[in-house]
Amino acid sequence: MSKRPSHRRPGDAQPPAIRGIFQVGDLANRVISVLRERSMAERALLCDAIIDRLLVSIADPAGFDPEVTLSMLRAAHLSDKDIISCYIPEAARHLGCRWNQSEMSFAQVTTASARLQDMVRLVSSDWSDRAANGSTCDQLGVLLVICENDLHTLGCVTIAASLRHEGHSVRLILGATGQEFRRALKQDWYDLIMFSCASAQALENVAEFVKHARMSLRNVPPLILGGAVLNQFSDVQERVGVDLATNDLQMALRLRDTGSVRKKLVAE
């Protein structure tokens, strides 16, 4: 059985860290915060032994093969949905705690996080095709955005994979510039526009994107903000001007404009 990492006590000395948006000390919080919160009972269902094996694999200095690691997880009778929605976020939580406890270096955590992201892409590689081939009234077109000065992408990639697994069509823009965001609005239409924001530094860019969407679209879909930044400000919804600020993915999906599913949004 693995020993669950504990949180640092307030009086503990802080380990050396790279500050600002490059700090990964709260990596797990940033990843988990963009996912729907799981109860303690749900977390208890996770298998410690499998998580231990996953952590060993993604931290192996000799190299990493995502297909071999996924085969190991699937051999343990885990569904792809469970791998993405439960085990990869839990592994990320462990990485964050190990960083906080100085058990892993910045480079080790960064490498392991990138490997988790590779696994997400591999697992969900065929989900995009399924969403493209399916066409139902319940299918949503979602634009999911991380601004250019917000570098924590694992949570957002995981959200995109979860949406695609449910059959939705997702356009994901990582490190989006203003030009890329404007181009996305002109090239397609969306039932929801979602922003993931982990740092306060990126809020200004999100606010600019929200302002542009409201000014340029004839039919503005719900604009939603999620991410760890919600834990830093109580008035973030008013600061940015979105319709909803939440880390509950299902709540965000319920905000969709059901009447806009067949409606094309046109940027003027």
Q: What is the CATH number of the domain that holds 203?
A: 3.40.50.280
- What is the rounded CA–CA span in Å between residue 87 and residue 156? 16
| Same domain membership, residue 250 and residue 161 | yes
In a domain, 216, yes or no: yes
| Same domain membership, residue 146 and residue 110 | no
pLDDT at 146: 92
| Same domain membership, residue 112 and residue 82 | yes
Question: pLDDT for 6-49, tens place per residue?
Answer: 444 444 444 444 444 344 444 444 444 444 444 444 444 578 89
Question: pLDDT for 224-238, tens place per residue?
Answer: 999 888 888 889 999
In a domain, 267, yes or no: no
| Same domain membership, residue 90 and residue 47 | yes
Q: How many independent structural domains does the chain possess?
A: 2
In a domain, 41, yes or no: yes
Is the pLDDT score of 101 beyond 50?
yes
| Same domain membership, residue 208 and residue 138 | yes
State the chain's mean pLDDT as an integer: 78
Confidence of residue 63 (pLDDT cuts 50, 70, 90): very high
Confidence of residue 263 (pLDDT cuts 50, 70, 90): very low
Interval 253-262 mean pLDDT: 60
- Other C-beta atoms within 10 Å of 49: how many? 10
In a domain, 265, yes or no: no
In a domain, 268, yes or no: no
Q: Which of 94, 123, 152 is the last residue of a domain?
A: 123
Which of 96-110, 125-139, 165-179, 195-209 shows the lowest mean pLDDT across its residues? 125-139
Q: Which of 105, 123, 141 is the last residue of a domain?
A: 123
User: What percentage of the chain has pLDDT greater than the value 90?
Assistant: 35
| Same domain membership, residue 248 and residue 138 | yes
Confidence of residue 106 (pLDDT cuts 50, 70, 90): confident
| Same domain membership, residue 176 and residue 134 | yes
Is the pLDDT score of 156 beyond 90?
no
Quick one: the chain helix, strand, coil %, rounded to 5?
A: 50, 10, 40
In a domain, 11, yes or no: no
Note down the domain range covering 47.
20-123
For residues 92 and 57, the model is more confident at: 57
| Same domain membership, residue 176 and residue 80 | no
DSSP string, 137-175: TT--EEEEEEETT----HHHHHHHHHHHHTT-EEEEEEE
3-state class (DSSP) for residue 199: coil
In a domain, 160, yes or no: yes
pLDDT at 17: 43
In what helix (H) or strand (E) does residue 195 lie, and over which residues does it extend? strand 192-196
In a domain, 171, yes or no: yes
| Same domain membership, residue 167 and residue 100 | no
Confidence of residue 166 (pLDDT cuts 50, 70, 90): confident
Confidence of residue 123 (pLDDT cuts 50, 70, 90): confident
Q: Which of 123, 141, 158 is the last residue of a domain?
A: 123
| Same domain membership, residue 65 and residue 96 | yes
| Same domain membership, residue 206 and residue 146 | yes
